[in-house]
Structure 1
């Protein structure tokens, strides 16, 4: 597996000279670097180790003015070689670089005591003892210390063996999916065009891949790839990679942007981060303090929003929110470093928990409980937590990839497990961000809400059989996606908690309840229309003897319609539903006997109706899609 080693240490302690002695590659490529004799930008090299592993090397600047460049390089390393000059010992940037590596999650490495040819044995022993004391309690507490001289070559063979053993046994934690390359260089190569470089921290890139720049979402395609000076078809995670991009100019790209596959990152202006304020920090971090945030190869101003306290003291850890002036693209588990503004100094750092967060209220029990849960939760439980937080909006598979520590196969398994146990529900199989899910608690809450809505509706509209699906969607379901609305209705129908008649939805035990006078009117109306058949009485003739207006009787008419006993053919013209059914059968038999069309005359002969009812019924048959009008004739609609 590819491995990246990075250097760290104070300015002029011989980092670049040591790398040249080990690899034969001079990492200082800029004219200004050679003129001033100091490293300004990141340098890159590689070393072929005895075991056959090609070790990538990132050389970082040691000057305090270029710490931001150092952080950009250290963000992509697997282990560190801490370089300390034997003639000077531990210096300010030695300590700061060590802090930065700690905050970035580096867990192992070696120590190189350079310039050992410039001191005597007693001095070297004293410096070694001092270094061991400084490293106590750090991740390099037990690291081997190698006195070396890049000038004479002393100690270099032993250091090479140690690096080889470390590289061969080290198993870096990298995702095989979610390909990301934080960009640290952008330049033009004659004959090729725009090239970006960086450390591929996850996934892989292949020639021909469609890619995007985040957070800008600019589009491109990979023309070619190089790794350690060799042209390759595929570059895996852990490799220093140069990507030749199509369709973009140098000015279109900024250092700090992230190259990734389309639809895999979701930039946001609010992150939740588990933040450690260094015990060595000169002061704590107050709520709303503006800081310099380093993430990957990007530096940006951010405000620290402390949610459960007013100040994060040195040595304390807290989950807080970082808010940015523009969107940032991150993934759960990413590391960040925070430096103060004046003077510039590394103060804190930690890991990203939620790279797409909603603003939270401070000093509430609910927020405090959530923060504690976020810091302690991983795996399937984290999937469930993020789904619960998403509420009715839910989350797509691609977004869940960035919000959890799970790769795609593990996430599939986690979601399947949650769905089986009722902890999640699949709402859309082909969403914009892949399969879409909501939390099981959200489904339960929506089911309760829908049942309550229907109960209130029936109480408010006792004479209505129920509510149409479209009306239900535009009222109760107006804040839901169409897929989630459909899921909820169908779930309750299958569970017998809702019933449907045609397009009307109701509670299973709901029946239209009429007052005694309305029940009496229902009987009168039904009898009148059953008797009238296809020649029903005028509404006025029915209601005038009862001293009722149509407005007063209309609710009872609606009940009869909902019950499927009468049909409204035209305004103020109703027919007995059974008579209409018999008519439709007669019309279908007419066509089945060989007729191809039917005009008003044929319809009159078939039914014996007067023009008053004839035209209304012909138009109703068209509206009910039994027939279709062609000129003055009707043909049987082909279904």
Structure 2
């Protein structure tokens, strides 16, 4: 059974015992910074592994609780599967607790375990009041009716119960998409002497392996994964849901920053304009006006921008979802469905959150038409969802499509059948599906690659298939490329000659620039018949380059216009045909070296390699010092 990976977030007010609880669960102290030790608060999110009985891989994120460190808190909880909401028994629900709850809801986190800590400090009656206060706070939220566990992290009371509750809740958590293209929002960048640049983050989707070629967006730095660690243990690969450190080659520390995204393909958009669906907090301190400055937190990035409304000029108190746009000062990397938080830079407050409808928004007119368009984008049909998934990750099996879209198997199968009939999708070998547009793109790329190759190397039979496949593998899977090549060969768009691929109408030919010179060389070779010179002697008196000389020689041999006589001599096909005719006419079924020398009148310098060439061409075979005609 394939391993599963989860990330749990500890959230709650400052000094409510999140770090101590994390240590009680994992035996790891996540306050690693000197300043954190001195001030007894978490400034940066800390991470620790939680070991389970069944081998499930769990990382715990201890996120900061202090208001000043809210941005680290947002980055820490982005990407978690389950939240443990920590409330101290001696203080109860605090303003920071409520803000954390709003952020968790905006980020779309579905599952929560409420943990009341420091129970040794209060009596049973106060503990009951605290529980009632928490129930009231959670009422009407997505965390209503969440399980509640009482613990004392110092003595260990209730810790085993909390672990069991965590494992039980995780069984209902939807697995992250390990089949999609690899994506890791970076939240830490540092160097280790002798190792170079290292980045950390939680793998949002996909798999990264040692040696993987990766890109850092939005700057588009090309890097390579030299070493991968999960909780300080070297591993060959890291998967969606895992907290991961990756040693990168090809980039300096200064070339990466928190908020950048590490990806493995060019399927991810870099954008500065996103169409979004937002819900705002119920108690905004002041009116949010059209084009107000906002700070967007998505993944691990935080970017300033302006909010643009299309159906209003301000927001004061509103409970329903608002469709609008955020125009950013800097580029980010997002996908449809990514969750985000919006904060106001002044006065500093969390103002709302939501999800990305369209990662690459455009400028739209103010009015109902734009709202209708955004609503249509937001709703997206199941067919749209499948196509969106295949745009990012192809090819996919039906099971992979189901996992990525959360659609019912029967519904997915019906849509696949319908879209194949309409020509929107194609089923390729292995019961996998791709968009027809992707196959058309591969066809265009193949034609373009071959056309370019023929222009650069007109004297070659075609492009080596393995080389062509490798070039296209940068953008498409090998199976998609192989399928497309087979289809193009079957339909006569391209042709396959042994291991070479060429456009259907292409034939090897002499390049226009050197045609006259090369024809002279071929004529001289033909005129010398069997007593040819070294190949370099034919070229030395011409302006033809060494590379062009090699191409011409290869052209003559590959097209059987000439044959290789020795390592440094080739002979024209016409001379070989004439030699064979002469020998056949003047010998019987067998002949010897003297017979051939008398008939052809050439020295042993040419005669011996010539007879060996005739053997290799299957005109003759050697038999006890003589040659027999085949």
**TM-aligned CA distance change 1:145 to 1:408, over 3 Å:** closer
Q: Which moved more, 1:204-213 or 1:305-314?
A: 305-314
Which position in structure 1 is the counterpart of 2:266? 263
Task: Tell me by how many angstroms 1:142 deviates.
Answer: 0.9
Give the 3-state SS of the residue equivalent to 2:371 in structure 1.
helix
Work out which of the residue numbers 364, 368, 373 in structure 2 matches 1:370. 373
The reply to whether residue 64 of structure 1 matches residue 67 of structure 2 is yes
State whether residues 273 and 351 of structure 1, in contact with CA within 8 Å, keep that contact through their aligned partners in structure 2: yes
Task: Tell me by how many angstroms 1:79 deviates.
Answer: 0.6
Give the 3-state SS of the residue equivalent to 1:373 in structure 2.
helix
Which position in structure 1 is the counterpart of 2:85? 82
State whether residues 10 and 94 of structure 1, in contact with CA within 8 Å, keep that contact through their aligned partners in structure 2: yes
**TM-aligned CA distance change 1:73 to 1:378, over 3 Å:** farther
Give the 3-state SS of the residue equivalent to 1:267 in structure 2.
strand
Give the 3-state SS of the residue equivalent to 2:25 in structure 1.
helix
Q: Distance in 2 between matches of 1:293 and 1:35?
A: 31
Task: Tell me by how many angstroms 1:399 deviates.
Answer: 9.8
Q: Distance in 1 between matches of 2:23 and 2:71?
A: 23
The reply to whether residue 29 of structure 1 matches residue 32 of structure 2 is yes
Q: Distance in 2 between matches of 1:398 and 1:139?
A: 30
State whether residues 83 and 113 of structure 1, in contact with CA within 8 Å, keep that contact through their aligned partners in structure 2: yes
Q: Deviations over 1:313-345 (max 9, x none)?
A: 432311111111122111011001001122221
Work out which of the residue numbers 309, 313, 321 in structure 1 matches 2:312. 309
Q: Distance in 2 between matches of 1:349 and 1:417?
A: 36
Task: Tell me by how many angstroms 1:396 deviates.
Answer: 10
The reply to whether residue 145 of structure 1 matches residue 148 of structure 2 is yes
State whether residues 304 and 328 of structure 2, in contact with CA within 8 Å, keep that contact through their aligned partners in structure 1: yes
Give the 3-state SS of the residue equivalent to 2:163 in structure 1.
helix
Which position in structure 2 is the counterpart of 1:227? 230
Which position in structure 1 is the counterpart of 2:422? 421
**TM-aligned CA distance change 1:367 to 1:126, over 3 Å:** same
Unpaired segments ≥5 residues, structure 2: 406-411, 426-434, 447-630
Give the 3-state SS of the residue equivalent to 1:72 in structure 2.
helix
Task: Tell me by how many angstroms 1:167 deviates.
Answer: 2.4
Which position in structure 2 is the counterpart of 1:13? 16
Which position in structure 2 is the counterpart of 1:545? none
Which position in structure 1 is the counterpart of 2:363? 359
Which position in structure 2 is the counterpart of 1:188? 191
Task: Tell me by how many angstroms 1:262 deviates.
Answer: 3.0
Within 5 Å, which residues of 2 pair with 1:456-471?
none
Work out which of the residue numbers 44, 48, 65 in structure 2 matches 1:45. 48
Q: Distance in 1 between matches of 2:244 and 2:358?
A: 28
The reply to whether residue 324 of structure 1 matches residue 328 of structure 2 is yes
Give the 3-state SS of the residue equivalent to 1:22 in structure 2.
helix
Within 5 Å, which residues of 2 pair with 1:118-157?
118-157=121-160
TM-score computed with the length of structure 2 as normaliser? 0.63
**TM-aligned CA distance change 1:408 to 1:335, over 3 Å:** same
State whether residues 176 and 205 of structure 2, in contact with CA within 8 Å, keep that contact through their aligned partners in structure 1: no
Q: Distance in 1 between matches of 2:139 and 2:121?
A: 26
**TM-aligned CA distance change 1:343 to 1:320, over 3 Å:** same
Task: Tell me by how many angstroms 1:178 deviates.
Answer: 2.0
Give the 3-state SS of the residue equivalent to 2:153 in structure 1.
coil
Q: Distance in 2 between matches of 1:433 and 1:339?
A: 46
Unpaired segments ≥5 residues, structure 1: 387-394, 437-639
Say what the alpha-carbon RMSD is for the aligned residues.
Answer: 2.8
Q: Deviations over 1:180-221 (max 9, x none)?
A: 100011111222211101000101101111100111101100
**TM-aligned CA distance change 1:52 to 1:65, over 3 Å:** same
Q: Distance in 2 between matches of 1:266 and 1:400?
A: 16
Which position in structure 2 is the counterpart of 1:159? 162
**TM-aligned CA distance change 1:382 to 1:434, over 3 Å:** farther
**TM-aligned CA distance change 1:190 to 1:309, over 3 Å:** same
Give the 3-state SS of the residue equivalent to 1:329 in structure 2.
strand
Q: Distance in 2 between matches of 1:434 and 1:244?
A: 37
Q: Distance in 1 between matches of 2:445 and 2:333?
A: 21
State whether residues 305 and 327 of structure 2, in contact with CA within 8 Å, keep that contact through their aligned partners in structure 1: yes
Which position in structure 1 is the counterpart of 2:215? 212
**TM-aligned CA distance change 1:2 to 1:373, over 3 Å:** same
Q: Distance in 2 between matches of 1:435 and 1:285?
A: 48
Q: Distance in 1 between matches of 2:85 and 2:403?
A: 37
Task: Tell me by how many angstroms 1:171 deviates.
Answer: 2.6
Give the 3-state SS of the residue equivalent to 1:241 in structure 2.
strand
**TM-aligned CA distance change 1:366 to 1:420, over 3 Å:** farther
**TM-aligned CA distance change 1:407 to 1:219, over 3 Å:** farther
**TM-aligned CA distance change 1:239 to 1:418, over 3 Å:** same
Q: Distance in 1 between matches of 2:442 and 2:303?
A: 30
Task: Tell me by how many angstroms 1:377 deviates.
Answer: 1.3
**TM-aligned CA distance change 1:77 to 1:428, over 3 Å:** closer
Give the 3-state SS of the residue equivalent to 2:104 in structure 1.
helix
Structure having the higher Rg: 1
Task: Tell me by how many angstroms 1:153 deviates.
Answer: 1.6
Task: Tell me by how many angstroms 1:73 deviates.
Answer: 0.6
**TM-aligned CA distance change 1:419 to 1:45, over 3 Å:** same
Task: Tell me by how many angstroms 1:249 deviates.
Answer: 1.3
Task: Tell me by how many angstroms 1:51 deviates.
Answer: 2.8
The reply to whether residue 113 of structure 1 matches residue 116 of structure 2 is yes
The reply to whether residue 334 of structure 1 matches residue 338 of structure 2 is yes
Task: Tell me by how many angstroms 1:56 deviates.
Answer: 0.7
Give the 3-state SS of the residue equivalent to 2:100 in structure 1.
helix
TM-score computed with the length of structure 1 as normaliser? 0.62
Task: Tell me by how many angstroms 1:168 deviates.
Answer: 3.5
Task: Tell me by how many angstroms 1:381 deviates.
Answer: 3.3
Equivalent pairs counted in the alignment come to 422
Q: Deviations over 1:442-461 (max 9, x none)?
A: xxxxxxxxxxxxxxxxxxxx
Q: Distance in 2 between matches of 1:139 and 1:97?
A: 13
Q: Deviations over 1:581-631 (max 9, x none)?
A: xxxxxxxxxxxxxxxxxxxxxxxxxxxxxxxxxxxxxxxxxxxxxxxxxxx
